[in-house]
Amino acid sequence: MQRKMTSRKGIIPIIAVLLMAALSVAASGLYYAEVTKVVANPAPQDVVVTDILLSKHYGYAYFSISMMSNTPSDLVFQVSVIGEDGAIAWTIPNVLLPAKGEHVATASGSSGSDFFVGKTYIVKIEGDINMAYSVECTGVEVSSGKIFLLAINGITGDFTEGLPSSIVPQHIESATNFNAIAEETLWFAGATKSKFQSLFDLSDKCGCVTNWSYYGWLSGQPVNFNITYDSSQNTLYYTIDDKTITTMPDAGFTDLYIRGRVDGRGSMYVTVDNLEFNGETIDEMINTTNYDVLWLRGADTSGDFTLTGCVTLTWSGTGGNWGMNLDIIGGTAVEGGEYEVETSIAPIPSMQGALDTAERLGSPITLVTTLEQWDAILANPPLGAIVVNPFGGAVPASSWAVEDEASAESYIRMLSEMVRTYSWTWVHLGGYPFSSVTNGTDTVDVGNDGAEWFFDVSRINAHGRGIESLEENLLTDDDGVSLNHFLSVTGNEALPGNLWFDYGIVLPSSETPDTKFTFYMNPGGVSQAGAMSFYLGAGYYVHWGAPIYTQGHSDGSQVSDYDSASYALMVALYTVMR
């Protein structure tokens, strides 16, 4: 009896020990699960950015970022550098930071015009952890002044669409802005990966699907797409990878948009890159975790066309409802009217010449495409701006300045004040300077008075026509900043020795404006200069008299408006640099 009782009592501690052991194992399991989850979910302090470098050499730029990880798992980031205009200058996708390791991501190329030396730029790091840093740009540049090119749509046409062989892609980063710009959306070529769907499809203007096919999207895997429009058959061919579907789209589309959208929680990216339209490379991409539209401004959709690119849909750790969507949209855009204004020179090639030269020299340039944008600049003038007017004698202005001659005079005097006060450089590309003021609809012609108001002198004009010689003293300065040296280090060819100018400026015998440089001068000793820069208060006026030939009249090779604008911007930047 005694033994039996002892035996029963002996079982209880054994059961207790077993229970405790079981609890211990269970707790260890829970602990391990918790630890695993935390390890797979890195904290911000587990990633350190050890070094960032941004440097430019005129038009070339280089960026590098060094990162170190203290986590036991690999991490993937996307690193973006924000350029001077607030848009992404560089994106480095899929930066793999190995477990407990280091990585240096780099980017380089012709992006010098996105940065100013001495200014700081934001570096955005997105992924499992978000971070933001700023880095100062170092290196060499021509000018610290931003160039504003007056490419106002509505004056002699829509320039952004008319620039030769150029599509000017424009990002639209909200649905509100897209709805304001896209007047009509007439067809959609979609690609969808969501919790419930994996497909690509074609839809009509109502958004109703007209054709579709299943496609098994794989996370992070780039897939080529092709949109081809056969205008004779009014048929749209949409190919993803090796699958093609077709539709007959609603007519009337003039513009192409590429829209990436992400909905729901979790880490998701829509990336579209390697874009080409009719064989022309589009140097822009979409890489969004939210919403981004790329408007292919200037893409000619009036006939047959082919748009190709590469789409990557990336997702991880999604829960609940989620989805990613790419749409290529054919539609129309709200645009200003088109009017014809006498400009003396051809604005479109002039703009392209200025644009390409600025990019080559690494000078940030902003296209001012609306008068509202121009008014905003005048209302809040930036210091040291370089304003290029490609309309020859016509000066773009808002309606208030084109009411009558008095309003035109007020406007031109205001521009002069901007130059004097805010150290602007006004670059004139040809024609009689300030001889008319226009908003595209109404024009006030003021003749020679315009230049006199601008210079605030009683007599000046620009009707000198003839051969002018490049000033030798500018070429041979031996202090390291001669014109030849400047052109050489910036990768440009020497300026022609002689040019036949159409609009040489004729200086008055009295009240002569202060000259900074004479680039081309009449060899006969006449007070006439084809290209000259003047001091105007704290700024400059650069006169470029629109040369036609490289020698005497019809004697040499022709100078295109493209080359003329390129030369003009170079001498303007040389003026500012020295």
> Quick one: which of 68, 92, 131, 199 contacts another protein (CB under 8 A)?
131
Per CB under 8 A, which region of 161-169, 263-271, 418-426, 430-438 contacts another protein?
Answer: 263-271
Task: Quote the tokens at residue 138.
Answer: 């170092």
> Is residue 384 close enough to count as binding another protein by CB under 8 A?
no
Closer residue to another protein, CB minimum distance, 43 or 334: 43
Site for another protein (CB under 8 A): how many residues? Answer: 37
Q: Binding string, 3-22, against another protein, x = CB under 8 A?
A: --------------------
Question: What is 508-569 written as a DSSP string?
Answer: -SSSPPPEEEEEEE-TT--SEEEEEEEEETTEEEEEE--EEESSSTTTS-B--HHHHHHHHH
> Is residue 126 close enough to count as binding another protein by CB under 8 A?
yes
> Is residue 295 close enough to count as binding another protein by CB under 8 A?
no
| Residues from 296 through 325 that contact another protein (CB under 8 A) | 319-320
Shortest approach of another protein to residue 429 CB, angstroms?
Answer: 28
**CB distance 286 to 325 below 8 Å:** no
**CB distance 439 to 501 below 8 Å:** no
- Strand pairing category for 131-140 and 47-57: parallel
> Quick one: which of 34, 283, 405, 442 contacts another protein (CB under 8 A)?
34
Task: Quote the tokens at residue 176.
Answer: 């509100």
In whole angstroms, give the CA distance from residue 541 to residue 446. Answer: 19
> Is residue 179 close enough to count as binding another protein by CB under 8 A?
no
| Residues from 36 through 95 that contact another protein (CB under 8 A) | 37-38, 41, 43-45, 82, 86-87
Residues in Cβ contact with 198 at an 8 Å cutoff, skipping those fewer than 6 apart: 192, 214, 215, 216, 217
> Length of the chain, please?
578
Task: Quote the tokens at residue 414.
Answer: 């205001």
> Quick one: which of 16, 21, 104, 132 contacts another protein (CB under 8 A)?
132
Question: What is 152-173 written as a DSSP string?
Answer: -TTSSS-HHHHSTT--EEEEE-
Burial degree of 138 (CB within 10 A; 0-12, 13-18, 19+): middle
Helices 561-577 and 347-361, axial angle in degrees (round to 10) = 40
Closer residue to another protein, CB minimum distance, 289 or 370: 289
Q: Binding string, 429-448, against another protein, x = CB under 8 A?
A: --------------------
> Quick one: which of 74, 102, 183, 263 contacts another protein (CB under 8 A)?
263
Per CB under 8 A, which region of 115-123, 507-515, 519-527, 528-536 contacts another protein?
Answer: 115-123
Closer residue to another protein, CB minimum distance, 382 or 552: 382
In whole angstroms, give the CA distance from residue 269 to residue 78. Answer: 10
Shortest approach of another protein to residue 124 CB, angstroms?
Answer: 6
Per CB under 8 A, which region of 51-59, 60-68, 128-136, 564-572 contacts another protein?
Answer: 128-136
Closer residue to another protein, CB minimum distance, 132 or 251: 132
Residues that bind another protein (CB under 8 A): 30-31, 34, 37-38, 41, 43-45, 82, 86-87, 119-122, 124-134, 173, 262-266, 289-290, 319-320
